[in-house]
Chain A
Amino acid sequence: MTNHRLITKLVDDAETSSTDSFNVTRSGYKTILFLLIYLVTTITAFGLRDDWLQQIHELTYLLEMLCSVVLIFGAGVTAINFSVPRKMGYSASQLLPILAVAMGLMIWVLGDVNSSVFFTSIQTFSLSYMSLGVMVGALPAVGFLFYQISQGAPTQLNFVGSMILLSASATGHLLMRTIGQAASFSDVLVWCYFPILILTLLGLISGRNFLRW
């Protein structure tokens, strides 16, 4: 098919089919609203952990929650911003994965985690339900973000994939830490925090396969 014929065909197609324009700002607001409603509904349904008021006054827990909130909304909005063709450039959103790593280091340092308790936590497989909780909590956010982005036309597929899973896994992490209790920060690091890194990495690797258009 020559290019001229293809152009004629595309023009005819544009005339017969109509598509709503994709507004990034509107989608961004929708995403923030969805994530807020989802978090509030889930926490209301399952209830806050018994010692939540006491925990929130602890610096490590407070910083962990703040980091999670920044990651949830920052990565969610970034994924939506990159759901249209655009150059990567120098974007502040590239700092989000660094913040995710910094969050882990902060839990390690402020939570008094050392290598011996860390390895004990790794060997306690009975705590794997926490990782499962993070993943289950992340599922609705993943579904919503994928749906929103599929309405657009992303060109930075790997980055968008990683941002979707970073936002969703941070949502799962926040829910797990607000609803459930953990014995030590070492358990939190291994079974609640590492899923964030693993899922983000998974998004970075497989984003291209799921977001191709």
Chain B
Amino acid sequence: MLFSQNGDKKSYTQLLVSVEKLARRYLSSRLKISSDIDDLTQEILITVHNAKHTFDATKPVLPWLYAIFRYRFQDYLRTHYRLKKHLTSELTPNVEATYTTDPKLDWEYRNLIQKLLSYLLPKQRTILEMLYINGNSAQEVSKALEISVSNVRTTAHRSIKLIKARANKTND
């Protein structure tokens, strides 16, 4: 950390790689959705980069790092519950769980997903497919479609809500 603070490029790369590993380990025990872990790991890396000038070399590095992890994770949870993502996340594992070992069931699930996705606008469908079927992160989708990350998240959130409402209507 000390070398990287002094502008040593190699040490700084090593530091960020270690931070990434630590962050992944920290987040994987707390989160299940891999795209969220990716997003949050990237946010943590950016935060460490922005806050590196506040590290005091006379003090241990881990408490400083874990304070940042906790801060970003709590921030994520706050947004997660504010957007009521926990209510729509029930649907997400179902989409991921469609790839079963039984070919007949697999075919049925795929058909169902295609049917549900057909209710959406092309843009919404693309975002959902990229996020939840291809497993891209929100940042990757935003770059590919040239829209903001928040726009990607909002569209995905609304699309899932729409699908859920449609699925409930069909069940009724």
Contact = CB atoms under 8 A, between A and B. Distances in A.
B32 interface: no
Residue of A23, A86, A155 with highest tally of chain B CB at under 10 A: A155
A36 interface: no
A69 B43 CA distance: 40
A86 B64 contact: yes
Contact of A152 (B4, B12, B54): B54
B53 A21 contact: yes
B143 interface: yes
Given A1-B139, A8-B13, A10-B12, 4 more contacts: A3-B42, A14-B7, A84-B54, A153-B51
A125 interface: no
B64 A85 contact: yes
Interface stretch (B67-75, B90-98, B122-130, B164-172): B67-75
Contact of B50 (A8, A11, A153): A153
**B interface majority secondary structure:** helix
Residue of A8, A15, A23, A153 with highest tally of chain B CB at under 10 A: A153
B42 A22 contact: no
B27 to A, nearest CB: 12
Interface in B120-141: 137, 139-140
A80 B17 CA distance: 30
A87 B66 contact: yes
B56 A7 contact: no
B159 interface: no
Nearest to B65: A85
Given A21-B5, A84-B56, A86-B64, A3 B41 contact: yes
**A interface majority secondary structure:** loop
Nearest to A84: B54
A13 B71 contact: no
A58 interface: no
Contacts of B65: 85
A20 B53 contact: yes
Contacts of B46: 6, 10
Contacts of A20: 53
Interface of B: 4-5, 7, 9, 12-13, 16-17, 20, 38, 41-42, 45-47, 49-56, 63-68, 70-71, 137, 139-140, 143
A85 B42 contact: no
A90 interface: no
Residue of B7, B46, B54, B65 with highest tally of chain A CB at under 10 A: B54
Contacts of B71: 85, 155
A147 interface: no
A13 B49 CA distance: 9
Given A85-B71, A87-B63, A22 B45 contact: no
B16 A1 contact: no
A64 B158 CA distance: 55
Given A1-B139, A21-B53, A86 B63 contact: yes
A32 interface: no
Given A6-B45, A7-B45, A153-B50, A85 B68 contact: yes
Contacts of A19: 52-53
B67 A155 contact: yes
A24 interface: yes
A15 B9 contact: yes
B136 to A, nearest CB: 10
A152 to B, nearest CB: 5
A87 B16 contact: no
